[in-house]
Every structure is written in structure tokens, then in C-alpha cells.
A and B are shown apart, each in its own frame.
Chain A
């Protein structure tokens, strides 16, 4: 003999109530040990709708470029594979190229903007060394191919790396049309002359790149290269019409690297 209709409905109703209220009752009677814990950004952190950079090549001379690169590499413990601390760790010239770690580096016009060069270029373009970095694309192919979501796009447009998740598959390196990603073929520590103990290094077997200095922005500081550039690099929020980058983009004609590929790079060049 089964239960009758009335009994069944009563049981079903009661168990629904218990299911809905049970968890709340549990929380009320035995509250979690760390109820109040939460995470907040640091006070004074810079926030933006869309971070972007303008490189003003009219102001950027060789010396400033070097200053920017040094500032970046010093801040982020970027190894210099060609110059190890201990000469025993030296690698062959071929490997120096292959193992090189690039965050911010110089490139000729025909390498930085392939397809935009022609036989009768403006004279000054032949001598210009363009400062190139990760473009923090709006449609980043590296993010799309990453199998572990180690590289991801933040809501403020920054393309970030989570080194903890990187498995070193190098799909992102194949996907990035700008060569902005470097693989750590070696333990980078023996190749860092001066270390910044407040910023971690990377390990052998992970990919790394420019992060737009997210750790500095969250402290309310401009990126290291921008600070060192003395106005040649302009950094700011594209979402804010009054920002400096928007002002520059409005005033001058700007180039983007390989814009035809549709990755929507967010580093602009004034030539």
C-alpha cells in the first residue's frame, strides 16, 4: 500500500521547504568562521575603463628608449640572457636570440610595421628605433588559444598572465603576431644582474610578457616605462574623453602595429 495523494503532497512540500531553508538555517545556527573576510583594491589604485598607451616617436630618442627599457627590466626582474651574472651560465649567440626575454624592446620600422613599408620611405623612418611591447589587444589571440586560461583579458583591457597557471605550452607565442611573448627556456635567475626583491621572477617553463605594470597601477603609480620616458610614452584611460591618451589620439595621426590582423592593438604610435 503506497501513500495517498494528501500524504505525498504534504511530504513534497515539507522537503522543499527544508531544502530551501536548510542551508540558511545552517548558516544562521553555525556561521562560517571567516564571514567578514573580503578583498578590496588598494586605496589610491588607478582604475580605468580601457588602458592604452601612446608612443610619441617624435620625443623618443635612443637614450630615452634605453631608460624606459632599463626601468621596465629592473622593475620586473627581466633576465638579460646575453649577460649572465656568472659567466659560466653564458649561452651561444644563437641561443641568446632564441632564449631572449622581451617585455619592452626596440624594433626597426620594417619589423614593427611590416606591410606598411615601401621602397621610398621617409628618410627618418630608416633610423627610427620603435619601442615595442605587448599591445594589450582588444581581441587578443593569445587569450583565445590559452588552454589553461593562464593568460586572460581583464575588464579594464589589460591582457594579464597568471604565471601560476601557465603550463608552458607556448600556444600564445604562436598566436601573438607581435612576438610580445617570451618563453623561459632557462631558469631566469642567473641572468638577472640587479634584482627587485618586491617583484617575483619567473620560473623555467613559463611564458612571460609586459603586464602594463598592473602591480604599479594598483598602487597608484604609472607604469615604469612611462615614468622613465619623460613624456614620450603617454598612458591612460581610453574610456575617459578627457584623458591624455584620448587627447593625443584626437590631435595626431597614429599608427598601430599590424592593425589589419584585427587584434585591435591598444598601443598607438605617433611618427
Chain B
């Protein structure tokens, strides 16, 4: 507005009083939008509300383990250590075996084991689906061991099946 009370446009010409722009913030619409968003984002929580998801239940009752006398039924390290650190231990085994050709692992009690996933771990824990997969599925981790290493039990079953045919 100039001193005469006239409105001018960007070219300096006389123009109408500029319109006050409409409010951009429409409380009602925004509120509904926010509610829809929150419901959508939290929908998995609502869906599973009240449902009890069974925890992992790794089985230790394979034939190879049951055959051992009670006192020898131990893993290469203590249960607690293996639960927390088996992946680190396996990684260490891998590096020692592949890089330095150290194929034997001497555990904290001085007992010697073959450091091999397929040829040692899985000899006792031959039930991959009831042992490894139980926790791995529960916490949604996908270790890529089995792209190369054999699931011996499964392979043997398949061979037996194909021979039966």
C-alpha cells in the first residue's frame, strides 16, 4: 500500500487489495491424518497384542548326544559361554583353520576338539532345525553357513529317500 492508500502489483500498476491467503493449517484434516498414520505404524503391535509368541526351544536330545554318558554331555565350552559367544568362536575357528591351518581347538579346560562346523559341531547337534534355527528364527538372524557347509542329516535323508525310490 502506498501513501495514498492504493495497492500496486509487482509492475507498479494499480491493483486490487491483495487477498489474504487461506490458512494452510487445517486442524481437522491434519488431526485425522496423524491418527491414521499412528494407527498404521503401530498396527503390528495391535495385531499381536495379547498373543503369546513361543520362545525358542533348542533341542539337545539328538542320538549322538544321548549316547554320551551324562557327565560328558558338554559342548566345547560352557553352556553360558556358547550361548553368548558361539558365533565369535566359530568365526575364530574359521580364521584359524583357513588361514593358519590350525585345525584343532584346545578349550579352556585343556581338552582338544576338531575345529569344524560340519565335521564336529553338527555331529552332535545334527538337528539343525530344532537347534540352530530355533533361536536364529526367533531373533530373525540368517547366518549364511549353509550355502557351502553341508547339513549332513538332511543330505543323508535325501540320499536315503532317493535310494528308496
Contact = CB atoms under 8 A, between A and B. Distances in A.
Interface of A: 33-43, 45, 152, 154, 160, 162-164, 195, 197-198, 200-204, 214, 217-219
Nearest to A165: B98
Contact of A36 (B98, B101, B106): B106
Interface residues of B, number: 31
A203 B148 contact: yes
Contact of B98 (A40, A162, A203): A162
Interface in B145-165: 147-150, 152, 155-156
B102 interface: yes
Contacts, number: 76
A218 B103 contact: yes
Interface stretch (B38-46, B108-116, B127-135): B108-116
6 contacts: A39-B96, A39-B104, A39-B115, A40-B106, A160-B99, A204-B147
A197 B148 contact: no
The 6 closest A-B pairs by CB, nearest first: A39-B102, A203-B147, A39-B96, A200-B148, A34-B108, A200-B149
A23 B156 CA distance: 51
A37 B93 CA distance: 11
A218 B101 contact: yes
A198 B94 CA distance: 15
B83 to A, nearest CB: 13
A33 B81 contact: yes
Nearest to B122: A197
Nearest to A217: B101
A217 B94 CA distance: 17
Contact of A39 (B105, B110, B156): B105
Contacts of A42: 103-104, 114
Nearest to A43: B104
A45 B104 CA distance: 11
A36 B118 contact: no
A34 B106 CA distance: 10
B104 A197 contact: no
A69 B99 CA distance: 26
A45 B92 CA distance: 20
A34 B119 contact: no
A37 B98 CA distance: 18
Contacts of A204: 147
A38 B102 CA distance: 9
Nearest to A42: B103
B142 to A, nearest CB: 14
Contacts of A201: 148, 150
A198 B103 CA distance: 14
Contacts of B101: 41, 45, 154, 214, 217-218
Highest count of chain B CB atoms <10 Å: which of A45, A197, A198: A197
Nearest to A34: B108
B150 A197 contact: yes
A164 B106 contact: no
Contacts of A198: 118-119
B106 A37 contact: yes
Contacts of B147: 203-204
B100 interface: yes
B107 interface: yes
A221 to B, nearest CB: 13
A200 B112 CA distance: 23
